[in-house]
Amino acid sequence: MTLSLFDQFMSPWHMGIPLLAISLVLPWILFPTPTFRWLNNRMLTFQGWFIARFTQQTFLPLNVGGHKWALLLASLMVFLITLNMLGLLPYTFTPTTQLSLNLGLAVPLWLATVVIGLRNQPTAALGHLLPEGTPTPLIPVLIVIETISLFIRPVALGVRLTANLTAGHLLIQLVSMAVFVLLPMMPTVAVLTAVLLLMLTLLEVAVAMIQAYVFVLLLSLYLQENV
């Protein structure tokens, strides 16, 4: 039973071809493309409003140098939300439940923020490793601790996204299995469990959007420290 629960997180293959690449390309096909008309439809209008609001709220604390990342982080936000939401559909695969994919997104972007900080303001970037006013005997220990915390950041980004989505999918599968088991024996309890399943699904929709936002928001905070 334990193996069957985690089978949904295995990367699908067909004729020796990994279908993970298709699941990563599919969201870009579903996005509406801008037209040359004077008035856009509701979907395009909502998409433009959402991206504009997200960019405004995320990059408000950053200076002008950090605004160059607006297109990249906004695209990443929309991409992650779409992947997380599509993964909630039945008989679909969620690529963001793979730790390797999340680390592949987190590590290069985090490393880019660190390199930018070391290039633009090396003194301030290295100064984060030693808080001001630290007693002299604690300096070596704090430098080691701050260095470890710095390198843990991309791991925390990837693990947070993976763990939240994996836990949500497991809860949905366990509750749905309980509904099918209880339906012939205790229909009333099965109906109540189905209501719980519906509420849990709505919660997972919110989690799918919030986790994508948190992923990009933390990247923007790391960028804020280095620009």
Residue 203: predicted pLDDT: 92
Q: In whole angstroms, what is the distance from residue 156 CA to residue 99 CA?
A: 11
- Composition of the chain by helix, strand, coil, percent to 5: 80, 0, 20
Q: How many residues does the chain have?
A: 227
The predicted-structure confidence for 48-90, as pLDDT tens digits, reads as follows 888 888 888 888 877 777 788 888 888 898 889 988 988 888 8
Higher pLDDT, 2 or 10: 10
- Nearest in space to 128 (alpha carbons), one of 143, 113, 116, 115: 143
Number of domains in the chain: 1
CA pseudo-torsion sign 75, 80, 82, 83: positive
Mean pLDDT of the chain: 83
Does position 6 have pLDDT exceeding 70, yes or no? no
Please state, in angstroms and rounded to a whole number, the distance separating the CA atoms of residues 204 and 88. 8
> 131: which 2 tokens?
């808080």
Residue 31 in 3-state DSSP?
Answer: coil
- In which domain, by residue range, is 47 found? 5-224
Q: For residue 11, give the DSSP letter.
A: P
Q: What is the pLDDT of residues 145-176, one digit of tens each?
A: 888 988 999 999 999 999 999 888 888 888 88
8 A C-beta contact, residue 213 and residue 74: no
**Is residue 99 over pLDDT 90?**
no
